[in-house]
Every structure is written in structure tokens, then in C-alpha cells.
């Protein structure tokens, strides 16, 4: 059942759980995510990240995502992740995506605000939800997923310069009218090369200022305890990709290593990858969905 992001996050916010959002740059990922969600009777978000255009284009994977969402037995939002351009956001809206993320967080604050505001006007006119980002989310040098470049907390003298400022968040949300906000509090896109130091209290500080659902990017690799605290403090959407992708790669590797026959057929590898992603996504959803 295809629904908007706002519909999903409204219930998550009220019931204090988080909806898992999974990047799906191939059919195996789409199938794995939908199978996991249906088995758990959990709502879910299918995402296409703009940086995955090198793997498969939006116009090719988008209709497939929408087809699976409409046929699913659970509520599914179809979302553009880290849209970096006006053109990409409009393309997703025209395809039928029910939400878009416009990410101008690397730009000056005023430009981020003004450009996001324009995207919100366009998207809302079409009944499409909008996510934006304020602050900075680090990117690992390994498996950076949907992030860009690589950096860590060690690259900054003062983390206040990169974490989301509560007062600016209030101003930004009120001025743009975004439906949810991705905030920076120490998470990392990709593989955590060291134990993350998350400023989970910052979520509460921002929550005191504004009443919108918050989004955690770099959700793979966070401990169950930190997930639960983040959700309790106001996180309603958790982006997750790197570890499900890694699980699929490991399953394929093991299949090849354990094969004693002369021939290995790709369809077997495809099924192994789908099953591995389904299991990994189920484990994540079971954590996200518990109040």
C-alpha cells in the first residue's frame, strides 16, 4: 500500500517508534525489504539515493519501487534520498514518489533555507512530503553508502560547528515548512571505524524547540541501546543501508566459497543476496518498531 512519508511518521511520532528507510538500488534489495516488512507487518520506506544513479537511474528503478509499494500488504512510502538538485526532486515527484529529501546541508544556511523552501512549495502542491537536512552527518571512508566524500569527528575542532543547532533548527523548520528534519548528532554514513560518540541529548534539545519528526542518517552500525534512546528522544525515521548491503555481499561470498561444483549460477546468488538482506532488515525493523 503506497502512502506518504508524513502519514508514516505521524503515527511513529505518536506511538514512539521509528520507521526503517532502506536504499534499494537493485531488485534484490527491494524484494528483501518488502518481504521483511510484510513478515513483521511493519510499515517501511523504500529509498533511492541520488548518488546511486551510477548503479541504476531513478527513471529505471523508480517505477519498480512504486510497483512493489503499491502491491505490498503493509504501508510503504517511496522516497528520494539525498536529492541534491531541483531537477532530481521534480523528476521523483513526477514519477509518483510520495516524498523527497532535498539536501542542501553542505551549502550556506541561508541558501539551504531558501532552496528547501522552494522545493517544499512544489512538493506540497503535489501532495508530496519533504525531508531536509540541517547540520552535518559524517561519512566513513569505508562503505559510505549514500554519503558524499569522507570525514569524521576528528576532522573538526569544535563539533558545535557540525551538529544541528536547536535554535537554527526551529527557524529553519518554521521558515521552510518541511515535514521532517534530518539532524546531525554524531552518526556516520557507512561503516563505523570506531565506536560512535552520539550526542543523543541533542535530539531532546531540538525537540524542545520544534514539533516535527526527526530523521537519523547513518543508521547502520548503531547499537541497539543507542537506537532505542534516539527513538525515545524523538527519532522517527532511521536510514539504513550499509549493513544490509554488506550482508548480501557476505552471503554471495560464502555461496561462492562453499560451492564445489564447476558452475555457479547467478540466479542462486541473487536469491542468497535477497534472503540475506531480508534477514538483516528484519533484525533492524524489530529494533526500530519497539516503543
82 is in an annotated binding site: yes
81 is an active site residue: yes
Is 234 one of the annotated binding-site residues?
no
Query: How far is Cα 90 from Cα 208, in angstroms, rounded to an integer?
Result: 33
Residues 6+ apart with CB under 8 A from 53: none
Q: Which residues contact 157 (CB under 8 A, 6 or more apart)?
A: none
Is 48 marked as a binding-site residue?
no
Residue 103 marked as a ligand binder: yes
CA distance 4 to 76: 8
Is 218 annotated in a binding site? The answer is yes
Catalytic residue among 11, 81, 262, 279: 81
The answer to whether 79 is a known ligand-binding residue is no
136 is in an annotated binding site: no
CB contact burial 32-51 (16+ within 10 A = b; e otherwise): bbbbbbeebebbbbbbbbbb
Nearby residues of 126 by Cβ (< 8 Å), 6 or more positions away = 93
280 is in an annotated binding site: no
Could you count the other beta carbons within 10 Å of the beta carbon of residue 152? 15
54 is in an annotated binding site: no
Q: Which residues are annotated as a binding site?
A: 82, 103, 133, 189-190, 217-220, 239-242
Positions annotated as catalytic residues are 81
Q: Which residues are annotated as a binding site for Zn(2+)?
A: 82, 103, 133, 189, 217
Amino acid at each position: 500500500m503506497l502512502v506518504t512519508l508524513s502519514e508514516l511518521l505521524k503515527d511513529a511520532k505518536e506511538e514512539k517508534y521509528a520507521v526503517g528507510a532502506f536504499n534499494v538500488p537493485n531488485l534484490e534489495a527491494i524484494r528483501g525489504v518488502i518481504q521483511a516488512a510484510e513478515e513483521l507487518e511493519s510499515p517501511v520506506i523504500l529509498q533511492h539515493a541520488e548518488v546511486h544513479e551510477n548503479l541504476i537511474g531513478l527513471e529505471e528503478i523508480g517505477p519498480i519501487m512504486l510497483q512493489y509499494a503499491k502491491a505490498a500488504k503493509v504501508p510503504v512510502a517511496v522516497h528520494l534520498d539525498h536529492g541534491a538538485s531541483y531537477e532530481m526532486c521534480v523528476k521523483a515527484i513526477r514519477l509518483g514518489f510520495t516524498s523527497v529529501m532535498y539536501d542542501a546541508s553542505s551549502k550556506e544556511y541561508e541558501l539551504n533555507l531558501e532552496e528547501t523552501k522552494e522545493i517544499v512549495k512544489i512538493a506540497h502542491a503535489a501532495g508530496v512530503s519533504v525531508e531536509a537536512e540541517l547540520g552535518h552527518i559524517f561519512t566513513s571512508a569505508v562503505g559510505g553508502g549514500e554519503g558524499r566524500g569522507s570525514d569524521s569527528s576528528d576532522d573538526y575542532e569544535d563539533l558545535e560547528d557540525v551538529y544541528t543547532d536547536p535554535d537554527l533548527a526551529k527557524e529553519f523548520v518554521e521558515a521552510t515548512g518541511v515535514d521532517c528534519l534530518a539532524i546531525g548528532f554524531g552518526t556516520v554514513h557507512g561503516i563505523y571505524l570506531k565506536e560512535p560518540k552520539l550526542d543523543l541529548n541533542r535530539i531532546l534539545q531540538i525537540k524542545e524547540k520544534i514539533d516535527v519528526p526527526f530523521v537519523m542518517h547513518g543508521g547502520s552500525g548503531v547499537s541497539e541501546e543507542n537506537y532505542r534512546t534516539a527513538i525515545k528522544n524523538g527519532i522517527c525515521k532511521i536510514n539504513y543501508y550499509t549493513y544490509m548491503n554488506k550482508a548480501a555481499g557476505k552471503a554471495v561470498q560464502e555461496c561462492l566459497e562453499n560451492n564445489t561444483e564447476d558452475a555457479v549460477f547467478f540466479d542462486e546468488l541473487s536469491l542468497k543476496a535477497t534472503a540475506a538482506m531480508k534477514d538483516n532488515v528484519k533484525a533492524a525493523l524489530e529494533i526500530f518498531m519497539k516503543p
